[in-house]
């Protein structure tokens, strides 16, 4: 299993925001946004800042996905 941030990108689209808007609103670096874009691990502080900036819960920006397809 791995973490996916597809929900975050959809939320940004739904709110008509760009990644640079999120960077400024949450006070996070562009390298953190790049890590999120590659579904890499980020510090939980980053995720909390994003949730505060977007006024949402963790489950609204991330989810666990299987690494394989079940038959």
Q: What is the DSSP letter of 1?
A: -
Query: Can you tell me the distance from the alpha carbon of 23 to that of 59, in angstroms, rounded to the nearest whole number?
Result: 20
In a domain, 22, yes or no: yes
pTM value is 0.87
In a domain, 20, yes or no: yes
Per-residue pLDDT, 12: 97
Query: Can you tell me the distance from the alpha carbon of 4 to that of 62, in angstroms, rounded to the nearest whole number?
Result: 6
In a domain, 33, yes or no: yes
Containing domain of residue 31, as a range?
2-65
Q: Which two tokens stand for residue 27?
A: 């006070």
The enclosing domain of 16 has a CATH number of: 1.10.260.40
Per-residue pLDDT, 69: 66
Query: Can you tell me the distance from the alpha carbon of 12 to that of 61, in angstroms, rounded to the nearest whole number?
Result: 10
Q: Which two tokens stand for residue 34?
A: 């790049």
Q: Looking at the chain, how many residues does it have?
A: 71
In this predicted model, what pLDDT tens digit does every residue of 3-40 receive, in sequence order?
Answer: 999 999 999 999 999 999 999 999 999 999 999 999 99
In this predicted model, what pLDDT tens digit does every residue of 31-63 receive, in sequence order?
Answer: 999 999 999 999 999 999 999 999 999 999 999
């Amino acid at each position: 299993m791995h973490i996916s941030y597809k929900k975050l990108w959809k939320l940004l689209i739904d709110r008509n925001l760009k990644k640079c808007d999120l960077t400024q609103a949450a006070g996070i670096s562009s390298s953190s946004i790049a890590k999120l874009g590659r579904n890499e691990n980020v510090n939980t502080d980053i995720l909390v800042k994003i949730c505060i900036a977007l006024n949402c819960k963790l489950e609204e920006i991330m989810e666990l996905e299987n690494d394989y397809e079940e038959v």
